[in-house]
Amino acid sequence: MRHVKYHHPQMSSNPGGQLAPNQIVGRDDLIASMWSVLKGRSIYMNDLRRIGKTQIMVKMHAAPPADWVTAKCDLGGIHTAAEFATQAYRLSAAALSRTTRVLRSMHKLLGQAGGLEIAGLVKLPDGTPAPWKEVLRRTFADIEEAMCDQGPGHRMLFLWDEVPFLLSNISHRESPEVAMQVLDMLRALGQDHDRIRLLLTGSIGLHHVLTGLKAQGYNGSPLNRMDHIQPGPLTPKHGVELARTLLQGDGIRCDDWDRCATELASAVGHVPFYIHRLVSRLPKADATTPKTIQDLLDREITADTNDWDLQHYRDRLRPYYGPDEKLALGVLDAVAVNEPLDFQAIRREVNMSGAVDDERLRALLKLLCQDHYLTRTPENQYRFYLSLIRRWWRLNRSLS
């Protein structure tokens, strides 16, 4: 196999900041495979927060293949179906303006009032807000026509970040029924327009939103035609290369660059954000060693005022797991101390009183894997998906 030498740009740590596309490293192979998938179907990308989903979208939006037009938006701050439809229209108009195309059907609907807004919503000639379903239908139809005009193989990709938050917001602000209608519209539009693809992401699993909607009568399968992708952390090779680049870029003193970079990247599970975060906290006055890296990480993630946002993984158990919160805690505590554990070992740990039904435990373990707390190994054992979360879990809960 030909050896590929990776060249990373000079850069300093920037945890949580906006990175230039050429500073988003270690994702090129994944992105290439995603563009290949998108030729045939849309994608739902779900993983832990901070894993790098948004940065992947940034890089795809910055450098799409020649026959693609892209439009990117974070949907977490949108609260109504009409706002969502307006955003889709606005993004499409901006993206297609670069190709000298116009949204003919939408222009006909809006007439001379096109582009004017009332409280952020496009309006009809009589001054009333345009119906959101009609806005979406016409916007998608216009995009399809524009892509056909461009020639064979031309497509448009919507990069929509935090879709579960959008649906949850709509459900609470308007109603669960409207959220269901948005899902059904996206599924139908995706089926009807072959020149349009969707890349949807979520940090909380869409399955939680769907569970709530199904309790209200929803029976759709909005993701059944989408490819499901979980990007995961960087490979160890790329994680170590990023760590070394940032250590040198920040002017950190190390007697052994390779050893320090390996220790640092491994300690945070090769997640780019956490590599940036830990490098940014290293002192520049003293030489860094593997021990100082480990000691600093423990201090960082256990400090009462820490900004690593790991408490989220404890806090979300109650709203998402409800009456199974205590059982989930027992499972996670057991796996944190003794991973990996198989089903029988977990059952022994959490079922001392015999009160937990096996099927209930199996369903919980599946949910904990879907939410990326745990992962199931080829040997049919369970371990923490991310070593950093396991490390924090043990320290935070004072487990041996």
Closest CA to 11 of 257, 227, 241: 241
Q: Is residue 293 part of a domain?
A: yes
Whether residue 200 is predicted with pLDDT greater than 60 in this model: the reply is yes
Q: What is the structure's pLDDT at 118?
A: 45
- Tens-digit pLDDT profile for residues 81-126: 999 999 998 888 888 876 655 566 665 565 544 544 544 567 666 6
Residue 396's alpha-carbon distances to 140, 371, 389, in angstroms, are 48, 20, 10
In angstroms, the first-to-last Cα distance of the chain is 44
Mention every residue, 6+ apart, whose C-beta is less than 8 A from residue 26.
234, 235, 238, 239, 241, 242, 272
The reply to whether 135 and 273 lie within a common domain is no
The parent domain of residue 250 ranges over: 236-302
Q: Give the Cα separation of 348 and 266 in Å (integer).
A: 31
The reply to whether 166 and 84 lie within a common domain is yes
Q: Is residue 268 part of a domain?
A: yes
Q: Is residue 307 part of a domain?
A: no
Domain count, the chain: 3
Whether residue 57 is predicted with pLDDT greater than 90 in this model: the reply is yes
Mean confidence (pLDDT) of the chain: 88
Backbone angles phi, psi at 158, to 5 degrees: -90, 120
Mean pLDDT of 381-400: 95
Residue 393's alpha-carbon distances to 298, 332, 373, 384, 398, in angstroms, are 11, 8, 11, 10, 8
Of the residues 229, 246, 277, the one at which a domain ends:
229
Q: What is the structure's pLDDT at 143?
A: 92
Q: Is residue 222 part of a domain?
A: yes
Element (H, E) at 177: helix 176-192
Q: What is the structure's pLDDT at 125?
A: 67
CATH number for position 384: 1.10.10.10
58 — pLDDT class (breaks 50, 70, 90): very high
CB–CB of 43/199 below 8 Å? yes
Q: Is residue 15 part of a domain?
A: no
The reply to whether 140 and 272 lie within a common domain is no
The reply to whether 37 and 139 lie within a common domain is yes
Residue 357 carries which side chain, given as an amino acid letter? D
174 vs 105, higher pLDDT: 174
- Tens-digit pLDDT profile for residues 206-263: 788 888 888 888 887 777 889 999 999 999 999 999 999 999 999 999 989 999 999 9
Whether residue 349 is predicted with pLDDT greater than 60 in this model: the reply is yes
The reply to whether 319 and 374 lie within a common domain is yes
- Tens-digit pLDDT profile for residues 15-24: 988 899 999 9
The reply to whether 83 and 120 lie within a common domain is yes
3-class DSSP state of 46: strand
Q: Is residue 116 part of a domain?
A: yes
246 vs 352, higher pLDDT: 246
The reply to whether 386 and 277 lie within a common domain is no
The reply to whether 162 and 277 lie within a common domain is no
The reply to whether 33 and 181 lie within a common domain is yes
Q: What is the structure's pLDDT at 102?
A: 58
Token readout for 195 is 């020149």
Q: What is the structure's pLDDT at 18?
A: 86
- Of 6-20, 175-189, 267-281, 374-388, minimum mean pLDDT range: 6-20
73 — pLDDT class (breaks 50, 70, 90): very high
Q: What is the structure's pLDDT at 205?
A: 72
The reply to whether 57 and 206 lie within a common domain is yes
- Tens-digit pLDDT profile for residues 285-297: 889 999 999 999 9
The reply to whether 185 and 258 lie within a common domain is no
Of the residues 259, 275, 302, the one at which a domain ends:
302
Q: Is residue 3 part of a domain?
A: no
* Predicted TM-score of the model (pTM): 0.89
Of the residues 202, 229, 256, the one at which a domain ends:
229
Q: What is the structure's pLDDT at 97?
A: 76
149 — pLDDT class (breaks 50, 70, 90): confident
Task: Respond yes or no on whether the N-terminal peptide bond of residue 131 is cis (omega within 30° of 0).
Answer: no
Q: Is residue 113 part of a domain?
A: yes
The reply to whether 143 and 36 lie within a common domain is yes
CATH number for position 256: 1.10.8
Q: What is the structure's pLDDT at 353?
A: 55
- Tens-digit pLDDT profile for residues 263-284: 999 999 999 999 999 999 999 8
Q: Give the Cα separation of 261 and 278 in Å (integer).
A: 11
325 vs 98, higher pLDDT: 325
Q: What is the structure's pLDDT at 369?
A: 95
